[in-house]
């Protein structure tokens, strides 16, 4: 267990003083949540990915913090979302800019004394960028750098224990999966009066879902306009299922963070 006397007053980096951060950084793993600000269909706010990233990162850090020292950096709320610029509300960075932003932020964390840095992603368009940022960071600095999307870490649990495919595409975009998470976190922001959503132009939900981050990348010009910006109908979404999925995801991420923290540093 982490000695309570050594804990700072908060797991959130931006709530600590420079002295607390300087003392805690060399021994802690810091999570950098990476999200996006973009449309999520007609029924969800543009903050979906940011809220998911912040919620999972803070909950997972609390769980992992029972055994290893953890901190959570402020969320990067803007990601690679150019494919959503056809709809109002997207605030996007180019992939090159996002990689530069992640480079500068992770270098800043190294300057503060951190040697274990984990990028936790909540937006599909960021997937390649976070992995490249982590790979290059470990080449530049004597650190352990990790990167993953939350659904990749938690895939087996959310598909098997959480039966997420019953809700729609996993993780999808503004469909039953993300809408369930939002109903669990901020039901006041979900326009349930607009559900169910029209299904015209949407593909069927696969019986055996595969992690989209694990297979080949296939992009089709105009596909987001063709499906009106959401991957599947959210009519089956529920707060109860959302709470279950958030618990499964947070525990999976916490387990991964503990394993990551326990990797030996190489000088």
Q: Summarize pLDDT for 186-212 with one digit per residue, the tens.
A: 999 999 999 999 876 677 777 788 888
In this prediction, residue 9 carries a pLDDT of 85
In contact, 40 and 85? CB cutoff 8 Å: no
Q: Which domains does the chain have, with CATH numbers?
A: 11-208+221-261 (3.40.50.10310)
In this prediction, residue 261 carries a pLDDT of 98
In this prediction, residue 7 carries a pLDDT of 78
For 250-253, which contacts have Cβ atoms below 8 Å and span 24 or more sequence positions?
Answer: 250/56, 250/59, 250/60, 250/63, 251/60, 251/63, 251/157, 252/153, 252/154, 252/157, 252/158, 253/56, 253/57, 253/60, 253/64, 253/120, 253/150, 253/153, 253/154
In this prediction, residue 65 carries a pLDDT of 97
In this prediction, residue 213 carries a pLDDT of 81
For residue 108, give both structure tokens. Answer: 């800043």
- Within a 10 A sphere around the Cβ of 221, how many other Cβ atoms? 8
Rounded to whole angstroms, the Cα distance separating 11 from 21 reads 10
Rounded to whole angstroms, the Cα distance separating 6 from 145 reads 24
List Cβ neighbours of 237 (8 Å cut-off, separation of 6 or more).
167, 176, 177, 179, 180, 183, 195
Report mean pLDDT in 10-residue bins for the chain, 267 residues.
Answer: 65 97 97 98 98 98 97 98 95 98 98 98 97 98 98 97 94 96 98 90 77 81 86 95 98 98 92
In contact, 177 and 245? CB cutoff 8 Å: yes
Could you give the C-alpha distances from 107 to 18, 27, 101, 121, 136, in angstroms and in order? 16, 17, 10, 18, 11
In this prediction, residue 5 carries a pLDDT of 52
């Amino acid at each position: 267990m982490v000695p309570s006397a050594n804990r700072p007053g908060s797991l959130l980096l931006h709530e600590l003083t420079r002295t607390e951060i300087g003392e805690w950084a060399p021994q802690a793993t810091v999570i950098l949540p990476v999200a996006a600000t973009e449309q999520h269909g007609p029924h969800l706010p543009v903050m979906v990915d940011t809220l998911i990233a912040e919620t999972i990162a803070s909950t997972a850090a609390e769980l992992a913090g029972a055994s290893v020292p953890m901190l959570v950096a402020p969320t990067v709320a803007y990601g690679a979302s150019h494919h959503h610029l056809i709809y109002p509300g997207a605030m996007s960075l180019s992939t090159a800019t996002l990689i530069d932003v992640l480079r500068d932020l992770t270098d800043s964390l190294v300057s503060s004394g951190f040697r274990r840095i984990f990028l936790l992603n909540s937006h599909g368009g960021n997937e390649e960028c976070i992995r490249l940022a982590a790979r290059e960071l470990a080449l530049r600095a004597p650190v352990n750098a990790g990167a993953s999307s939350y659904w990749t870490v938690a895939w087996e649990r959310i598909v098997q224990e959480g039966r997420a495919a019953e809700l729609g595409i996993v993780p999808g975009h503004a469909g039953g999966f993300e809408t369930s998470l939002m109903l669990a976190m901020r039901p006041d922001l979900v326009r349930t009066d607009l559900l169910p959503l029209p299904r015209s132009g949407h593909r069927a939900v696969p019986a055996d879902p595969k992690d989209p981050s694990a297979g080949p990348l296939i992009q089709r010009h105009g596909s987001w306009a063709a499906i009106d910006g959401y991957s599947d109908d959210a009519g089956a979404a529920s707060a109860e299922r959302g709470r279950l999925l958030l618990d499964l995801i947070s525990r999976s991420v916490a387990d991964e963070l503990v394993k990551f923290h326990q990797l030996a540093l190489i000088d």
